[in-house]
């Protein structure tokens, strides 16, 4: 199979405040979008303009999807082992550039450098898992289902698949989808968040350096609403993967399904901690603070409700430990090694989160720890904030905050804590801190969430397991990562066959 040359993008230095206009990656080339509108891409810590991102039009999306569709027949026909080796090359390319990618995540999204390094490492794990395609794509055979009849099932790629990814994990979440999609023989169109597209751009640059991945197999379209809607309705797109807030996930699922596409749409969360009085104190505090306030709470696996279990004295002791730990966290720029809590993605995000806190206080909530401030250099900083709402149905306990805010509930025992956690319409994750195996087992059995942590603050499964949100945290049937990913990007074909034996020769036929 011939491999087209991949053109490289113009040279640039994203750290010097350039107002470079980003391009789309289509058919192995970096091209100017037809869409004329654009947005500034800003460093959340400094408000520095890093680049300008174009808002691609339906015409731009069509160009990318058409390029992917043109590349599909040859890529589908590429032997599975060849595709696997291409992924091994991608894994090595990403690993060799992991520090640069992490620094881009910090520059573009704002999270601390250590957090960004962990994100990039998790993304590379997904590539490693997808390298197992030759084993995961094996079919099934049942011999002699009837006299002389065999049945076999094979898995084949869908065609062109798209991913619409959020701002909070600009490296990891695109890599949840890209490697599985192309490993299974599909061609791929990525629409990254318009808030921080630089990391996705760099990933596509690295893809373009791999000769074993032909032009058109991986494409990138920058944009916002019009680009999303165009991907959801384009007749050549066969499947859509999405990560974002629940209202948008439901919109994506509804619109794409109506257009006849397969969909996996990962939505929001309201993850609860169950803090038992027998928990090891230091591990509990470290786990809760890292989960609730790491990345400024901008994670779909962030714990945002702490259910403190025990009698009054035990509850107060647990809460005092959390407050003391949170007071010691350093707020600042993600690039500063001393920073524990990075800025939110924008000043507007901070204003929204602080507005949610103010609303709860107006409704009678107790302010346990106030992290509100002027916002720092760029107006996006907010410190750890702990609030105890007065009403169990308060918005702060029901809705995703996506900020460094921890809401407190109290429960006399584990059964009551599980009931509180299960009252949420979300079911992404839940975590328990305990020294009791019996409590852990009751929690595991009774909690209504797809990902559980036991003495672990962030219940993120490794890439060989599905990212298994429940309830309003997920719309679809097959999750991201693990075996679900291989199944999502392929469809089954079942063949029933009979091979009649030749009729015996009749007497005199040879004469």
Please identify every residue annotated as catalytic.
300
Q: State the Cα torsion 341-346-347-349 to the nearest 10°.
A: -80
- The pair of structure tokens assigned to 387 is 């609030």
3-class SS at 151? strand
- The pair of structure tokens assigned to 487 is 């199944």
Alpha carbon distance 113, 103 (integer Å): 7
**Cβ 342 vs Cβ 43: under 8 Å:** no
> How many residues would you count in the chain?
511
Cα Rg of the chain, angstroms: 25
**Cβ 306 vs Cβ 288: under 8 Å:** yes
3-class SS at 511? coil
Residue 240 to residues 222, 231, 263: CA-CA distances in angstroms? Answer: 16, 8, 5
**Cβ 91 vs Cβ 131: under 8 Å:** yes
CB atoms within 10 A of CB 150: 15
* Strand-by-strand arrangement of the 490-498 sheet: 140-146, 149-157, 490-498
* Residue 483 burial (10 A CB sphere; 0-12, 13-18, 19+): middle
Phi, psi dihedral angles at 411 (to 5 degrees): -145, 140
H helices present in 170-242, as ranges: 172-183, 198-208, 225-233
Alpha carbon distance 363, 274 (integer Å): 25
């Amino acid at each position: 199979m011939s491999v087209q040359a991949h053109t490289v993008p113009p040279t640039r230095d994203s750290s010097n405040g350039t107002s470079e206009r980003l391009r789309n990656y289509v058919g192995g080339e970096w091209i100017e979008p037809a869409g004329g509108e654009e947005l500034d891409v800003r460093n959340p810590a400094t408000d520095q303009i890093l680049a300008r991102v174009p808002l691609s039009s339906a015409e731009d999306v069509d160009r990318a999807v058409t390029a992917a569709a043109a590349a599909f027949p040859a890529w589908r026909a590429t032997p599975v082992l060849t595709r696997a080796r291409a992924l091994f090359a991608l894994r090595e390319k990403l690993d060799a550039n992991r520090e640069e990618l992490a620094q881009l995540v910090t520059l573009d999204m704002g999270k601390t450098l250590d957090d960004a390094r962990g994100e990039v490492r998790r993304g590379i794990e997904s590539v490693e898992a997808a390298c197992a395609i030759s084993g995961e794509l094996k079919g099934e055979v049942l011999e002699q289902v009837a006299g002389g009849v065999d049945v076999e099932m094979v898995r084949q790629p869908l065609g062109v698949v798209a991913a619409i990814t959020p701002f909070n994990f600009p490296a990891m979440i695109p890599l949840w989808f890209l490697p599985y999609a192309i490993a299974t023989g599909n061609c791929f169109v990525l629409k990254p968040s318009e808030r921080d597209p630089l990391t996705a751009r760099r990933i596509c640059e690295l893809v373009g350096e791999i000769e074993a991945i032909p032009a058109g197999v991986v494409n990138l379209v920058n944009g916002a609403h019009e680009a999303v809607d165009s991907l959801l309705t384009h007749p050549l797109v066969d499947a859509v993967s999405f990560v974002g807030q629940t209202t948008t996930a439901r919109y994506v699922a509804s619109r794409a399904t109506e257009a006849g596409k397969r969909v996996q749409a990962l939505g929001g969360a309201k993850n609860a901690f169950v803090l038992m009085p027998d928990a090891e104190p230091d591990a509990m505090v470290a786990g809760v603070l890292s989960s609730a306030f790491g990345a400024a709470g901008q994670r779909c696996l962030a714990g945002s409700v702490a259910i403190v279990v025990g009698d009054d004295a035990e509850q107060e002791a647990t809460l005092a430990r959390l407050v003391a730990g949170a007071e010691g966290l350093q707020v600042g720029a993600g690039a500063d090694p001393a920073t524990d809590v990075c800025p939110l993605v924008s000043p507007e995000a901070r204003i929204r989160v602080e507005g949610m806190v103010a609303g709860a206080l107006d409704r009678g909530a107790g302010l346990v720890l106030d992290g509100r401030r002027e916002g720092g250099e760029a107006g996006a900083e907010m410190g750890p904030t702990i609030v105890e709402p007065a009403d169990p149905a308060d918005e702060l306990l029901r809705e995703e905050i996506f900020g460094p805010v921890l809401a407190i509930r109290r429960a006399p025992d584990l059964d009551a804590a599980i009931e509180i956690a299960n009252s949420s319409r979300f079911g992404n994750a839940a975590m328990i801190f305990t020294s009791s195996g019996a409590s852990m087992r009751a929690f595991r059995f009774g909690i209504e969430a797809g990902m559980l942590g036991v003495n672990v603050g962030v219940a993120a499964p490794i890439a060989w397991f599905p990212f298994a949100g429940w309830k309003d945290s997920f719309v679809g049937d097959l999750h991201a990562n693990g075996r679900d990913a291989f199944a999502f990007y392929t469809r089954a074909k079942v063949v029933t066959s009979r091979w009649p034996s030749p009729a015996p020769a009749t007497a005199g036929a040879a004469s």
